Amino acid sequence: MKKVITLILVLVASFQINAQAKTGTIDSEYILSQMPELTKVQEDLKAYNGKIEAELKLKIDEYQAKVKDYQEKVASFTEPMKKTKQDEIITLENDIAKIRQNGAKLVQLEQNRLLQPLYEKIGKALEEIAKAEKYTQVFTITSSGLAYIDSNYDLTKKVMTKLGIKIEEAKK
Protein backbone atom coordinates (compact mmCIF):
# COMPACT_ATOMS: atom_id res chain seq x y z
CA MET A 1 0.00 0.00 0.00
CA LYS A 2 2.87 2.32 0.85
CA LYS A 3 4.43 1.68 -2.58
CA VAL A 4 1.15 2.48 -4.36
CA ILE A 5 0.76 5.80 -2.52
CA THR A 6 4.39 6.68 -3.24
CA LEU A 7 3.91 5.78 -6.92
CA ILE A 8 0.76 7.95 -7.11
CA LEU A 9 2.57 10.87 -5.49
CA VAL A 10 5.48 10.53 -7.91
CA LEU A 11 3.10 10.44 -10.89
CA VAL A 12 1.13 13.47 -9.65
CA ALA A 13 4.35 15.38 -9.02
CA SER A 14 5.69 14.57 -12.50
CA PHE A 15 2.41 15.70 -14.13
CA GLN A 16 2.56 18.96 -12.20
CA ILE A 17 6.14 19.58 -13.28
CA ASN A 18 5.23 18.96 -16.92
CA ALA A 19 2.08 21.08 -16.67
CA GLN A 20 3.85 24.18 -15.35
CA ALA A 21 3.34 27.25 -17.43
CA LYS A 22 6.19 28.91 -19.27
CA THR A 23 5.70 32.65 -19.29
CA GLY A 24 7.45 35.43 -21.14
CA THR A 25 7.16 39.15 -21.72
CA ILE A 26 7.13 41.46 -24.71
CA ASP A 27 7.39 45.22 -25.13
CA SER A 28 5.15 45.63 -28.16
CA GLU A 29 5.23 49.44 -27.97
CA TYR A 30 9.02 49.43 -28.25
CA ILE A 31 8.87 47.03 -31.20
CA LEU A 32 6.27 49.25 -32.85
CA SER A 33 8.47 52.31 -32.35
CA GLN A 34 11.33 50.54 -34.14
CA MET A 35 9.33 49.25 -37.11
CA PRO A 36 10.23 50.94 -40.41
CA GLU A 37 6.54 50.86 -41.41
CA LEU A 38 5.78 53.31 -38.59
CA THR A 39 7.21 56.17 -40.68
CA LYS A 40 4.56 55.61 -43.36
CA VAL A 41 1.84 55.43 -40.70
CA GLN A 42 3.02 58.72 -39.22
CA GLU A 43 3.09 60.37 -42.65
CA ASP A 44 -0.42 59.09 -43.44
CA LEU A 45 -1.68 60.28 -40.06
CA LYS A 46 -0.10 63.70 -40.58
CA ALA A 47 -1.80 63.94 -44.00
CA TYR A 48 -5.14 62.92 -42.48
CA ASN A 49 -4.75 65.50 -39.73
CA GLY A 50 -3.89 68.11 -42.37
CA LYS A 51 -7.05 67.20 -44.28
CA ILE A 52 -9.18 67.76 -41.17
CA GLU A 53 -7.40 71.06 -40.46
CA ALA A 54 -7.94 72.18 -44.06
CA GLU A 55 -11.64 71.32 -43.79
CA LEU A 56 -11.83 73.34 -40.58
CA LYS A 57 -10.05 76.30 -42.18
CA LEU A 58 -12.48 76.24 -45.13
CA LYS A 59 -15.45 76.29 -42.76
CA ILE A 60 -13.92 79.14 -40.73
CA ASP A 61 -13.21 81.16 -43.88
CA GLU A 62 -16.75 80.55 -45.14
CA TYR A 63 -18.13 81.53 -41.73
CA GLN A 64 -16.09 84.75 -41.61
CA ALA A 65 -17.17 85.68 -45.14
CA LYS A 66 -20.86 85.11 -44.33
CA VAL A 67 -20.61 87.11 -41.09
CA LYS A 68 -18.88 89.99 -42.91
CA ASP A 69 -21.44 89.91 -45.72
CA TYR A 70 -24.27 89.84 -43.19
CA GLN A 71 -22.86 92.78 -41.23
CA GLU A 72 -22.36 94.87 -44.38
CA LYS A 73 -25.83 94.21 -45.82
CA VAL A 74 -27.99 93.68 -42.72
CA ALA A 75 -29.76 97.03 -43.18
CA SER A 76 -30.98 96.05 -46.67
CA PHE A 77 -32.29 92.59 -45.66
CA THR A 78 -35.91 91.84 -45.09
CA GLU A 79 -36.80 89.94 -41.90
CA PRO A 80 -37.06 86.56 -43.71
CA MET A 81 -33.67 87.19 -45.39
CA LYS A 82 -32.12 88.10 -42.01
CA LYS A 83 -33.48 84.89 -40.52
CA THR A 84 -32.14 82.82 -43.44
CA LYS A 85 -28.68 84.43 -43.24
CA GLN A 86 -28.58 84.01 -39.45
CA ASP A 87 -29.53 80.35 -39.79
CA GLU A 88 -26.72 79.85 -42.33
CA ILE A 89 -24.23 81.44 -39.93
CA ILE A 90 -25.48 79.34 -37.00
CA THR A 91 -25.21 76.18 -39.12
CA LEU A 92 -21.60 77.04 -39.97
CA GLU A 93 -20.86 77.74 -36.30
CA ASN A 94 -22.24 74.31 -35.41
CA ASP A 95 -20.22 72.65 -38.20
CA ILE A 96 -17.04 74.32 -36.94
CA ALA A 97 -17.78 73.21 -33.37
CA LYS A 98 -18.38 69.63 -34.54
CA ILE A 99 -15.13 69.53 -36.52
CA ARG A 100 -13.21 70.87 -33.51
CA GLN A 101 -14.93 68.47 -31.14
CA ASN A 102 -14.64 65.37 -33.31
CA GLY A 103 -11.30 66.13 -34.96
CA ALA A 104 -9.19 64.56 -32.23
CA LYS A 105 -11.47 61.53 -32.09
CA LEU A 106 -11.28 61.08 -35.86
CA VAL A 107 -7.48 61.32 -35.80
CA GLN A 108 -7.36 58.72 -32.99
CA LEU A 109 -9.63 56.38 -34.96
CA GLU A 110 -7.47 56.80 -38.06
CA GLN A 111 -4.34 56.14 -36.01
CA ASN A 112 -5.85 52.94 -34.64
CA ARG A 113 -6.85 51.86 -38.15
CA LEU A 114 -3.35 52.52 -39.51
CA LEU A 115 -1.55 50.82 -36.59
CA GLN A 116 -3.75 47.70 -36.55
CA PRO A 117 -1.80 45.88 -39.31
CA LEU A 118 1.49 46.56 -37.48
CA TYR A 119 0.13 45.16 -34.22
CA GLU A 120 -1.15 42.14 -36.11
CA LYS A 121 2.32 41.63 -37.62
CA ILE A 122 3.89 41.79 -34.14
CA GLY A 123 1.23 39.42 -32.80
CA LYS A 124 1.83 36.89 -35.57
CA ALA A 125 5.60 36.88 -35.00
CA LEU A 126 5.06 36.57 -31.25
CA GLU A 127 2.65 33.68 -31.74
CA GLU A 128 5.15 31.81 -33.91
CA ILE A 129 7.94 32.28 -31.37
CA ALA A 130 5.71 31.41 -28.41
CA LYS A 131 4.55 28.19 -30.07
CA ALA A 132 8.05 27.21 -31.19
CA GLU A 133 9.51 27.79 -27.73
CA LYS A 134 6.45 26.42 -25.89
CA TYR A 135 5.43 29.56 -24.00
CA THR A 136 2.00 29.24 -22.44
CA GLN A 137 1.62 32.91 -21.49
CA VAL A 138 3.21 36.14 -22.65
CA PHE A 139 2.65 39.41 -20.82
CA THR A 140 2.91 42.85 -22.39
CA ILE A 141 5.38 44.88 -20.37
CA THR A 142 3.89 48.29 -21.13
CA SER A 143 0.43 47.58 -19.76
CA SER A 144 0.90 44.75 -17.28
CA GLY A 145 2.46 46.67 -14.43
CA LEU A 146 4.92 43.85 -13.74
CA ALA A 147 7.29 44.63 -10.89
CA TYR A 148 10.04 42.24 -11.96
CA ILE A 149 10.91 40.67 -15.27
CA ASP A 150 13.73 38.23 -15.91
CA SER A 151 15.22 39.38 -19.21
CA ASN A 152 15.78 35.73 -20.20
CA TYR A 153 12.02 35.42 -20.74
CA ASP A 154 11.56 38.71 -22.63
CA LEU A 155 10.62 37.87 -26.21
CA THR A 156 10.89 41.47 -27.48
CA LYS A 157 14.27 40.97 -29.17
CA LYS A 158 13.26 37.64 -30.71
CA VAL A 159 10.12 39.19 -32.22
CA MET A 160 12.14 42.13 -33.53
CA THR A 161 14.66 39.76 -35.09
CA LYS A 162 11.85 37.73 -36.70
CA LEU A 163 10.39 40.96 -38.13
CA GLY A 164 13.82 42.01 -39.43
CA ILE A 165 14.04 45.06 -37.16
CA LYS A 166 17.51 46.22 -36.13
CA ILE A 167 17.92 46.00 -32.36
CA GLU A 168 19.39 49.02 -30.61
CA GLU A 169 21.20 47.94 -27.46
CA ALA A 170 20.27 51.11 -25.54
CA LYS A 171 16.77 49.74 -24.75
CA LYS A 172 17.51 46.46 -23.04
More confident call, 116 vs 150: 116
User: Are 41 and 115 contacting, i.e. CB atoms less than 8 angstroms apart?
Assistant: yes
User: How many residues would you count in the chain?
Assistant: 172
Arithmetic mean of pLDDT over the chain = 84
Closest CA to 26 of 122, 107, 121, 104: 122
Q: Read off the pLDDT of residues 36-57 as tens digits, 9 standing for 90 and up.
A: 999 999 999 999 999 999 999 9
Q: Read off the pLDDT of residues 65-120 as tens digits, 9 standing for 90 and up.
A: 999 999 999 889 899 999 999 999 999 999 999 998 898 899 999 999 999 999 99
Would you kindly state where each structural domain of the chain is located, as residue ranges?
20-162
Region for 14 from its dihedrals, namely left if φ exceeds 0, alpha if ψ lies in -120 to 50, beta otherwise: alpha
| Per-residue confidence band for 155, with pLDDT thresholds at 50, 70 and 90 | confident
Give dist(CA 115, CA 50) in Å, integer: 18
Supply φ then ψ for residue 3, to 5 degrees: -65, -35
| Over residues 132-149, mean pLDDT | 74
Decide if pLDDT at 154 tops 90.
no
At 71 the three-state DSSP class reads helix
CATH code for the domain defined by 20-162: 3.30.910.20
Give the lowest-confidence range in 7-11, 54-58, 68-72, 160-164. 7-11
Give dist(CA 43, CA 49) in Å, integer: 10
Closest CA to 159 of 116, 124, 131, 133: 124
